[in-house]
Amino acid sequence: MNAFLQTWEAASRPSTAPLVIAAGEVAVFSKPRHADVPAMVRQLRQELRASGRELVLDDNTARAAGEAGGRDDWAQSQPALAIALGGDGTLLHAARQLRTQGTPLLGVNLGTLGFLTELAPEEMAAGLAQVLQGEAREDRRSVLAAAVRGATVKRLEALNDFVISKGPLARVIDFELMIEGENVAHYRADGLIVATPTGSTAYSLSAGGPLVQPELAAWAITPICPHALNNRPLLVRDTARIEIHMLAVGEQTYLTMDGQPGCPLAAGDRIIFQKSPHDVRLVRRPGYSYYDLLRRKLKWG
């Protein structure tokens, strides 16, 4: 193999630099009321005490474990590691709480599908040991920001996706899509999903959107039940400025982020999507493969 191909292949591979977890606090977030959380918290405290690290629980986890002193404000916290005990929703919650700190996130799957969570419950002790010994790697994921301008003025961020959706009445939403100031499409649909590569395996996939490799610098724009068969999902580069102009909406039209309430929308509102300066650091064990994950989770054989 010549030098050019060796250099090209090396540049094409994700970084394999070891992830070093510094001493300090380890934050734990959990799925509320899950029966296994108290025992898992006790196990984590024992494992982390042996390494000289302090376990800090969010308020939901502290209540589930029957402990006092749970934390609900993480703005001034700098955990060395965060552990999410739950499904992808729990990990997304942890990412929102620590979105500006750059804290590595390790997920233990207590849910069903679990595209983001790294460990099964029975793997938690061994997986955590690998992480603390510096054998893990980090998987950086891009974050999407949205600025709402109109009746409501708000700025939001999402690791998975933003969704424009209508209420229970069967009225379509009328809106325009603009990219870099150019009018691209006029939609009449039940809604629209703007997804990151991470979110391409979530609601966007169910709506017929494409699977996007995490390292690909792109957003996926997927209409929900469009009233025209020529409206199709669209991939755009993640440096693009995406604008949605709301032309006509029902009484209950909302912008949600990662499945959480964002804000109501009204006719005349504009939503501007751009790449966030923040990213999310997911912890991966040695040998992690995105394609192996797809094969297992989507039953590809």
Q: Which active-site residues does the annotation give?
A: 88
Report the C-alpha gap between 65 and 78 in whole angstroms.
23
- The conformation of residue 21, written as its DSSP 8-state character, comes to P
Q: What are the residues whose beta carbons fall under 8 Å from the beta carbon of 65, sequence distance 6 or more?
A: 37, 38, 41, 42, 57
Q: For residue 259, what are the contacts with CB-CB under 8 A and spacing of at least 6?
A: 89, 92, 160, 203
Q: How far is CA 34 from the centre of its chain?
A: 21
What are the start-end ranges of the E strands in the chain?
25-30, 54-57, 81-86, 105-109, 137-149, 154-158, 161-166, 173-179, 182-189, 191-195, 218-224, 234-237, 242-248, 253-257, 260-264, 270-284
Q: Tokens for 51, please give them.
A: 């390494």
Max Cα-Cα span within the chain: 63
Task: Report the alpha-carbon distance of residue 63 to residue 38 in Å, rounded.
Answer: 9
DSSP conformation class of 84: E
Residues ≥6 apart with Cβ < 8 Å to 223: 187, 189, 191, 192, 193, 207, 231, 232, 233
